[in-house]
Amino acid sequence: VSGSSGARQDDGPTRRGLVRAAASLAAAAGTVFAGHGQAVADEESGIEPFRGLHQAGITTPAQRHTYAAAFDLTAPGRDTLVAMLRAWTDAAARLCAGEPAQHLAQDAAVRAGDSGEALGPSPSRLTVTFGFGAGLFVKDGTDRYGLAAHRPPALVDLPEFEGDELIQEMTGGDISLQACADDALVAFHAVRQLARLARGTAELRWAQSGFRPGAGDGRHPRNLMGFIDGTGNPPVDDPAAMARFVWVGDEGPEWMRGGSYVVFRRIRVALEHWDGMPLDFQEQAFGRRKHSGAPLGGEHELDPPDLTARDTDGEPVIPESAHIRLAAAAINDGARILRRGYSYNDGVNLVTERWEPWRRRLEYDAGLFFVCYQRDPRSGFIRIFERLAKFDMLNQFVTHTGGGLFACPAGLARSEFIGQRLLES
């Protein structure tokens, strides 16, 4: 399976649809505002196609904000589950087109429709990417929805990695949503609407917001450790590379072909300690220069790292335990993943100690909401991270506290709902 976002067989954002969207917003707000519809209709660049060969939000150029969430399913049976997935698909399609999830008050006497806070901002390139966790297929040994036989072999239970400090309440889930948008409110609003529509069928298990700065002076944005992040990714504009590393091919079940597997990891970074380290140490830890993003021994961000280079003392120029050496395809059987992570900043935690000198202090709860897509997690994330978790020089500063693995089905054809091919197989 190949193809790029440019090859979407999508009904796309039609001008009529946009004008209709603006009109429904106006109607919902009880206002008539001439010209507003035209303004929305002209903002074509604010809309990412919802339907297509692949789900949006994977090779889509990363938006500035994300809001991801995982849910535990409580649906008593398959029919309720299907009804929710239909409602989610319909609402997500509307939201990505800049419309409310439902009318503001569908049945005002019963309950409100769309919560309304995103009326006004443009669609902000909103994408909503759906994923299915192992719990959809089998939960506590029970085949709740008659899907156990359809669990793809690649949807493994993630092994426990060296140093994992996963908090159960922030880990796993039966179904995932990742909303990405250039406006944080638009991303949050999308998940909030879908969570509301799922009431009685799925309960929020964990959620995580994240942000990415603009690319600044490099080709890619910087993470909170101050380094340019994303350089070593396979190119999203190369369909052959995406087919090889990101999209599931003939090896997967029909409903997954053209889909991908996502791994989320909430990684707290001990910024206080990192900030106390000398620049030289920081650069050795990553194997790259902080300012330019160049690999050690190179000059420019895009220079290929030379893993064989040695200095005059015979020591490797890129240290043995540098992050980019241990994560390199060259030493991981050619494994490559598409990283699409976001920084997160969840404020501060108060730490109290009995020992007087350390009694009370605040620590940042901030770091990297690591997100990566791949064709098969066994030869992707797991293959690479098993090595990193043991030997990476960064390990002293980073702690994985949550996340999960989800199978993101192929993109949706016209009027298809997410998971339809799985549930009707």
Contacts with ligand HEM, residue ranges (CB under 6 A) = 223, 225, 227, 229-232, 265, 267, 269, 286, 288, 305, 323-324, 327-329, 337, 367-368, 370, 381, 384-385, 388, 398
State in angstroms the smallest separation of the CB of 349 from ligand HEM: 17
> Which of residues 223 and 379 has its CB atom nearest to ligand HEM in the complex?
223
State in angstroms the smallest separation of the CB of 66 from ligand HEM: 16
> Which of residues 114 and 229 has its CB atom nearest to ligand HEM in the complex?
229
> Which of residues 267 and 423 has its CB atom nearest to ligand HEM in the complex?
267
> Which of residues 64 and 288 has its CB atom nearest to ligand HEM in the complex?
288
To which residue do tokens 């009685």 refer? 200
> Which of residues 186 and 328 has its CB atom nearest to ligand HEM in the complex?
328
- For β-strands 202-211 and 338-339, DSSP reports them as unpaired
Beta bridge partners of 288: 295
> Which of residues 70 and 368 has its CB atom nearest to ligand HEM in the complex?
368
State in angstroms the smallest separation of the CB of 22 from ligand HEM: 40
Give me Rg for the CA atoms of the chain. 22
> Which of residues 137 and 227 has its CB atom nearest to ligand HEM in the complex?
227
State in angstroms the smallest separation of the CB of 367 from ligand HEM: 6
To which residue do tokens 């991801």 refer? 68
Closest residue to ligand HEM in the complex (CB): 232
The whole-angstrom separation of Cα 108 and Cα 172 is: 36
State in angstroms the smallest separation of the CB of 370 from ligand HEM: 5
State in angstroms the smallest separation of the CB of 220 from ligand HEM: 7
Instruction: Residue 388: name the closest of 285, 271, 297 by CA.
Output: 285
> Which of residues 145 and 381 has its CB atom nearest to ligand HEM in the complex?
381
The whole-angstrom separation of Cα 85 and Cα 73 is: 11
State in angstroms the smallest separation of the CB of 5 from ligand HEM: 21
State in angstroms the smallest separation of the CB of 223 from ligand HEM: 5
> Which of residues 188 and 397 has its CB atom nearest to ligand HEM in the complex?
397
State in angstroms the smallest separation of the CB of 232 from ligand HEM: 3
> Which of residues 126 and 225 has its CB atom nearest to ligand HEM in the complex?
225
State in angstroms the smallest separation of the CB of 185 from ligand HEM: 26
**Helix/strand/coil (H, E, C) string of the chain?**
CCCCHHHCCCCCCCHHHHHHHHHHHHHHHCCCCCCHHHHHHHCHHHCCCCCCCCCCCCCCCCCCEEEEEEEEECCCCHHHHHHHHHHHHHHHHHHHCCCCCCCCCCECCCECCCCCCCCCCCCCCCEEEEEECHHHHCECCECCCCCHHHCCCCCCCCCCCCCCCCCHHHECCCEEEEEEECCHHHHHHHHHHHHHHCCCCEEEEEEEEEECCCCCCCCCCECCCCCECCCCCCCCCCHHHHHHHCCCCCCCCHHHCCCEEEEEEEEEECHHHHCCCCHHHHHHHHCECCCCCCECCCCCCCCCCCCCCECCCCCECCCCCCHHHHCCHHHCCCCCCEECCEEEEEEEEEEECCCHHHCEEEEEEEEEEEEEEECCCCCCHHHHHHHHHHHCHHHHCEEEEEEEEEEECCCCCCCCCCCHHHHCC
